[in-house]
Chains A and B, each alone.
Chain A
Amino acid sequence: MEFRAYIIRRLLLLIPVLFGVTLFIFGITMFFSPGQRATLYVSSPQQMRDLPGIIEQYGLDRPFFVQYATWIGQVFRGNLGWSTVVSMPVAKAILHYLPATLELALVATPLIILIGIFFGTKAAAQKDKPVDHATRVMAILGWSLPTFWLGLLLMMVFYGYFRGFLPPGRLSVQMEVVVNSVDFIRYTRINTLDAILNLNGPVLLDALRHLILPVITISTVNVAFIMRLMRSSMLESLGKGYILTARAKGLDERIVVNKHARRNALIPVITVSGYLFAALAGGAVITETIFSFKGMGWWASQSALRLDIPSVLGFALFMAVLFVLVNLVVDILYTRVDPRVRLGGGVQ
């Protein structure tokens, strides 16, 4: 009951947060001319012909708050404007490109977190030993490798040197035809998930082959970060009095490290992991471009390059909502991981 109340309270808190975010995003549009802002209200190509009519209809020369109310009304109706980059409504573009990015994020995020936590824990437990040094070097390398360089290198090796072993794109030509056939139902447009739901092994294998290199590329940098964060957090935990007590009680060192120290050390990692997932779900521009894995990052970058205002604002709004929701999930996870975080009033 207490937990449900907490969720409801947090959801209610989202309203003022989203109000502030949308106010800010809409405020940015005021820097553009009424004609450019009119494109925010366009939902079909036909309407592009009558921008003056839209300016009049939506009162784009009226006071800011009146315009804001009109715009937010449109947003609630799902009309985020027209994306000239991909010739479709922005809301549809988000739904179109999100699955590719989500697929990348859903595979990469757990990988990043698990590897980061595992090696971060090992490094802290064996501080100044070879494992610690090795993870430190791995972290430095991972952190310092430019994504575009690593992506191209991986592609040259695993697609070039190993002759097409791990290709770019999302699916091969043959499998693209299969997933677009009437026999294959695209429940989510996440290829791996759809392949499982359709019990289609070849599509699943093909989708996984195409996923591996982009996942490795975006994971390399982020694993390094999580690893270092986990290590320092673990070292702090291992220095606490209750760890000394646990050891003094003669507990097995593995239990001390994995149960007592690691659980407390996870809090900052959970925080960062939440934002990491949100950031990845917003698209990895360079990775998506190099591997022709066209998702949110590719769409957003193309929109920015083309000064496609409705798309850029739609993307910004999507990211804002995503971050707010992820923040909520992270806060809920805190209550599960750290008993000191009370549902009513934070840390007591």
Chain B
Amino acid sequence: MSKRLSKMGWIVIIALLTLALVAFPACTQQGEEEEEEEEISIPLKNPGDFVQQSIGDIDSFDPAWGYDNASGEQVDYIYETLVKYNKESTTEFVYVLATEEQIVSTTQIKFKIRTGVKFQNGNDLTPSDVEYSFERAMIQDRGGGPAWMFNVPLLGYSRTRSAGAVRPGIFDKIKNAVEVDGDWVVFNFAIEYPMLQWKQILTQSWASILDKEWCVANGEWDGTADLGTGNATAWTKYNNPTKQTTFLYDKANGTGPWKLDAWEHGEYVRLVKSDNYWGTPVFFNKVIYQIVDEWTSRKLALLNGDADFVYVPRLYIDELAGITDLNAIKDLPELSNDCLFFNLSIDPTSDLIGSGELDGKGIPVDFFTDVDVRKGFCYAFDYDVYLEDVMKGEGTMLGSPIVSPLAGYDPNGKKYTLDLAKAEEHLKAAWGGQVWEKGFTFTMVYNSGNIPRKTACEILAENLFGINEKFLVSILPMQWPTILDSIFYVGATDEVKGPLPLFQIGWIADYPDADNFVTPFMHSYGDFSYYQAYGNAELDAKIETARYMNASPARDAAYKELADIYYNDAPGIMLVQPLGRRFFTKYIKGFYFNPTIPGQPGPLDVMSKSES
């Protein structure tokens, strides 16, 4: 007996000792963190470089393609535009690759192109490069891409395609839309278009200027219709291409301060200072974007000085509170929103819709065409929990895509709230009662590492299950580029859209106007609404009328009407207009905030890093 007790004693003692050894460092750290939270000293590392850690890979380096934060940010560092915003302002501009402008008429504006500028490969910038860059963007006009902002004023259409085919005569319109006139480049609009809005469009990554000679030498569109074949429609092979087929997908050659040095998919992007940069010398030798999905790794990298800026999910902002060596910038008024979009015409080959029938084991491809389904889902979402727990109260819930302070925004406008009784009522009425009786199963996706979006999916899935145990929604993480490929599905037609039944994505203003929130969300050819199969001619006419109205109470009323339509149609579950935050180490200087570029760490060309 005593021998047995002795054995047990040994086991217990060794177990306790081992546990103590394992647990001690963690406990010590925890304790000290609580007591000395403000005394964490972040060392200065990589003094000449800027290191950012975030969750999403780059979609493409092609300026005409990239329409997401991660891509636009990198493109901005490599390429330059004709004009850019004057620091925080969204209405004042400074010239970059242009030196002068002339508004010739309400349908024509021209810019004088800067001389003495070289591309990173040593080629000189010419007005032809500017003409080529805009024409190429319209020639490419990839589905879900940013080219619509050029198309609308310059061509008079949102897209170069209609009913699944390239519009007749569109090539000539593209060629005539942008012309070289000596040192000047002339933009000829197809419609009267607000010049302020046009210049706002010109500030962003999609308006980057390319090196025509380099592009053509590497197999890009050569500027002609027949591409030297004698076939006048040969150019269409460059229209709406697949992502990786464009040469500029993973290559870059701009006039900006940094050039692309390496892109390891899913791992990192490294930019290095360009020797040919013409502008004011920049501070950072290297700009490094590392993809780190794990929050603890990113946090520790920031606190160790291995990263200068990291993506901080709002759920974890308290973990960085009170650290004096961090520069936490709060309450930035972002012009952005987040939304869950219903796909009204899902690709029948989708793996995410189960059986594809309304039999309890799947959903039909047109499941969300029934407004009662959509409204049932809207009422099933817990907006208060999302705002308080996920967003930490830092934002405003929205009833329509229009955000504050743009025309049509009404803080007291109609908004959905959590109302399970109403959700049940609508879901009972949906599909003639079949939804309630048979139930449904499908999968929602979110971009891997994005905790707020994951939580939004969970809130909706749990509440639907709570309403009826036959309502089964599973949740799947995907990498950011895959989400984009699945939303802006290359195989989408006017009738059939992508494979995601319900997708979640945010929108950041391309230009600070209500039109930039209504068109993408509600127009038949909107960036999101097209891929939802939402919109109709009557609605398009209302949107286009409001677009060209001068700022006035009438314009405000027109957008309020559109906001009401969005609420009544419920094509998506509108979530929040967030307040932005940035977390830098204290060594990073020179940040300023422009609300049209909320996802970026800041204007790196004027930022620096130093002890002082």
**Residues on A close to B: CB < 8 A?**
33, 35-36, 45-46, 48-49, 84-88, 128, 130, 133-134, 136-138, 140-141, 152-153, 155-157, 159-161, 163-164, 167-169, 172-174, 176-177, 180, 289-292, 294, 298-299, 302, 305-307
Cβ of B224 within 8 Å of any chain A Cβ, yes or no, is no
Contact of B479 among A141, A177, A306 (CB under 8 A): A306
- Nearest CB in chain B to that of A36: its residue: B349
Shortest distance in angstroms between B562's beta carbon and chain A's nearest beta carbon?
Answer: 36
Known: A167-B304, A173-B46, A174-B46. A85 touches B479 (CB 8 A): yes
- Nearest CB in chain B to that of A170: its residue: B267
Sample of 6 more A-B contacts, CB < 8 Å, known A168-B297, A173-B306, A294-B267: A136-B11, A161-B25, A161-B28, A173-B49, A292-B292, A305-B478
Shortest distance in angstroms between A115's beta carbon and chain B's nearest beta carbon?
Answer: 15
Task: For chain B, give the interface size range.
Answer: 35 or more
Known: A49-B242, A156-B300, A307-B351. A133 touches B7 (CB 8 A): yes
Known: A290-B297, A292-B294, A294-B266. A157 touches B29 (CB 8 A): yes
- Nearest CB in chain B to that of A298: its residue: B266
Give the distance in Å from the alpha carbon of A88 to the alpha carbon of B263 in the complex. Answer: 13
Asked if B266 contacts A86 (CB within 8 A), the reply is yes
- Nearest CB in chain B to that of A44: its residue: B244
Give 24 CB contacts A-B under 8 Å. Answer: A33-B349, A35-B349, A85-B479, A87-B244, A133-B11, A137-B14, A138-B18, A141-B19, A141-B22, A157-B26, A160-B303, A161-B25, A161-B29, A164-B45, A167-B304, A168-B300, A168-B301, A172-B306, A173-B51, A173-B288, A292-B293, A302-B266, A305-B448, A305-B477
Known: A173-B51, A306-B482. A291 touches B297 (CB 8 A): yes
Give the distance in Å from the alpha carbon of A75 to the alpha carbon of B191 in the complex. Answer: 55
Shortest distance in angstroms between A13's beta carbon and chain B's nearest beta carbon?
Answer: 38
Interface set, chain B 259-301, CB cutoff 8 A to A: 261-262, 265-268, 270, 286, 288, 290, 292-294, 296-297, 300-301
Known: A49-B242, A177-B286. A163 touches B304 (CB 8 A): yes
- Nearest CB in chain A to that of B485: its residue: A84
**Residues on B close to A: CB < 8 A?**
7, 10-11, 14-15, 18-19, 22, 25-26, 28-29, 43, 45-46, 49, 51, 241-245, 250, 261-262, 265-268, 270, 286, 288, 290, 292-294, 296-297, 300-301, 303-306, 349, 351, 448, 476-479, 481-482, 485, 490
Known: A137-B15, A173-B46. A164 touches B306 (CB 8 A): yes
Known: A130-B10, A137-B15, A161-B29. A289 touches B22 (CB 8 A): no
Asked if A84 contacts B245 (CB within 8 A), the reply is no
| Residues of chain A lying within 8 A (CB to CB) of residue B476 | 305
| Residues of chain A lying within 8 A (CB to CB) of residue B351 | 307
Asked if B25 contacts A157 (CB within 8 A), the reply is yes
| Residues of chain B lying within 8 A (CB to CB) of residue A298 | 266
Asked if A134 contacts B14 (CB within 8 A), the reply is yes
Shortest distance in angstroms between B326's beta carbon and chain A's nearest beta carbon?
Answer: 15
Asked if B296 contacts A156 (CB within 8 A), the reply is yes
Asked if B265 contacts A88 (CB within 8 A), the reply is yes
Known: A85-B479, A136-B11, A289-B294. A45 touches B26 (CB 8 A): no
Known: A35-B349, A160-B300. A137 touches B11 (CB 8 A): yes
| Residues of chain B lying within 8 A (CB to CB) of residue A180 | 261-262
- Nearest CB in chain B to that of A159: its residue: B300
Shortest distance in angstroms between A297's beta carbon and chain B's nearest beta carbon?
Answer: 13
- Nearest CB in chain B to that of A158: its residue: B25
| Residues of chain A lying within 8 A (CB to CB) of residue B244 | 45, 48, 87
| Residues of chain A lying within 8 A (CB to CB) of residue B485 | 84
Give the distance in Å from the alpha carbon of A156 to the alpha carbon of B300 in the complex. Answer: 8
- Nearest CB in chain A to that of B12: its residue: A137
| Residues of chain A lying within 8 A (CB to CB) of residue B306 | 164, 167, 172-173
| Residues of chain B lying within 8 A (CB to CB) of residue A291 | 297
| Residues of chain A lying within 8 A (CB to CB) of residue B11 | 133, 136-137
Give the distance in Å from the alpha carbon of A173 to the alpha carbon of B26 in the complex. Answer: 27
| Residues of chain B lying within 8 A (CB to CB) of residue A152 | 296
Give the distance in Å from the alpha carbon of A197 to the alpha carbon of B49 in the complex. Answer: 29
| Residues of chain A lying within 8 A (CB to CB) of residue B15 | 137, 140-141
Asked if A128 contacts B7 (CB within 8 A), the reply is yes
| Residues of chain A lying within 8 A (CB to CB) of residue B250 | 87
Known: A167-B304, A306-B478. A137 touches B297 (CB 8 A): no
| Residues of chain B lying within 8 A (CB to CB) of residue A86 | 265-266
Is chain A's binding surface mostly helix, strand, loop or mixed?
Answer: helix
| Residues of chain B lying within 8 A (CB to CB) of residue A161 | 25, 28-29
Shortest distance in angstroms between A89's beta carbon and chain B's nearest beta carbon?
Answer: 11
Contact of B43 among A128, A163, A176 (CB under 8 A): A163
Asked if A141 contacts B25 (CB within 8 A), the reply is no
| Residues of chain B lying within 8 A (CB to CB) of residue A49 | 241-242, 245, 490
Give the distance in Å from the alpha carbon of A289 to the alpha carbon of B305 in the complex. Answer: 21
| Residues of chain B lying within 8 A (CB to CB) of residue A33 | 349
| Residues of chain B lying within 8 A (CB to CB) of residue A173 | 46, 49, 51, 286, 288, 306
| Residues of chain A lying within 8 A (CB to CB) of residue B242 | 45-46, 48-49
Choose among A157, A168, A292 the residue with the greatest number of B CB atoms under 10 Å from its CB.
A292
Give the distance in Å from the alpha carbon of A157 to the alpha carbon of B30 in the complex. Answer: 10
Asked if B10 contacts A153 (CB within 8 A), the reply is no
Choose among A33, A45, A160 the residue with the greatest number of B CB atoms under 10 Å from its CB.
A160
Asked if A141 contacts B18 (CB within 8 A), the reply is yes
Give the distance in Å from the alpha carbon of A226 to the alpha carbon of B266 in the complex. Answer: 34
Known: A138-B18, A157-B25, A305-B448. A176 touches B479 (CB 8 A): no
Shortest distance in angstroms between B45's beta carbon and chain A's nearest beta carbon?
Answer: 8
Asked if A155 contacts B297 (CB within 8 A), the reply is yes
| Residues of chain A lying within 8 A (CB to CB) of residue B292 | 168-169, 292
Shortest distance in angstroms between B530's beta carbon and chain A's nearest beta carbon?
Answer: 20
| Residues of chain A lying within 8 A (CB to CB) of residue B18 | 137-138, 141
- Nearest CB in chain B to that of A163: its residue: B304
| Residues of chain B lying within 8 A (CB to CB) of residue A160 | 29, 300, 303-304
| Residues of chain A lying within 8 A (CB to CB) of residue B243 | 45
Shortest distance in angstroms between B62's beta carbon and chain A's nearest beta carbon?
Answer: 13
| Residues of chain B lying within 8 A (CB to CB) of residue A168 | 292, 294, 297, 300-301
Contact of B304 among A85, A164, A290 (CB under 8 A): A164
Contact of B294 among A128, A290, A307 (CB under 8 A): A290
Shortest distance in angstroms between B266's beta carbon and chain A's nearest beta carbon?
Answer: 6
Shortest distance in angstroms between A67's beta carbon and chain B's nearest beta carbon?
Answer: 19
Contact of A46 among B245, B261, B349, B448 (CB under 8 A): B245
Asked if B482 contacts A85 (CB within 8 A), the reply is yes
Shortest distance in angstroms between B312's beta carbon and chain A's nearest beta carbon?
Answer: 16
Asked if A156 contacts B482 (CB within 8 A), the reply is no
Shortest distance in angstroms between A328's beta carbon and chain B's nearest beta carbon?
Answer: 33
- Nearest CB in chain A to that of B293: its residue: A289
Shortest distance in angstroms between A98's beta carbon and chain B's nearest beta carbon?
Answer: 15
Give the distance in Å from the alpha carbon of A167 to the alpha carbon of B297 in the complex. Answer: 9
Shortest distance in angstroms between B475's beta carbon and chain A's nearest beta carbon?
Answer: 11
| Residues of chain B lying within 8 A (CB to CB) of residue A130 | 10, 14
Shortest distance in angstroms between A165's beta carbon and chain B's nearest beta carbon?
Answer: 9
| Residues of chain A lying within 8 A (CB to CB) of residue B304 | 159-160, 163-164, 167
Known: A33-B349, A164-B306, A292-B292. A155 touches B300 (CB 8 A): yes
- Nearest CB in chain A to that of B42: its residue: A163
| Residues of chain B lying within 8 A (CB to CB) of residue A46 | 242, 245
| Residues of chain B lying within 8 A (CB to CB) of residue A306 | 478-479, 482
Contact of A156 among B19, B29, B262 (CB under 8 A): B29
Give the distance in Å from the alpha carbon of A225 to the alpha carbon of B28 in the complex. Answer: 30
| Residues of chain A lying within 8 A (CB to CB) of residue B266 | 85-86, 294, 298-299, 302
Give the distance in Å from the alpha carbon of A348 to the alpha carbon of B45 in the complex. Answer: 65
Shortest distance in angstroms between A311's beta carbon and chain B's nearest beta carbon?
Answer: 12
Give the distance in Å from the alpha carbon of A33 to the alpha carbon of B348 in the complex. Answer: 11
| Residues of chain B lying within 8 A (CB to CB) of residue A289 | 293-294
Asked if A45 contacts B245 (CB within 8 A), the reply is yes
| Residues of chain B lying within 8 A (CB to CB) of residue A88 | 265
Shortest distance in angstroms between A103's beta carbon and chain B's nearest beta carbon?
Answer: 15
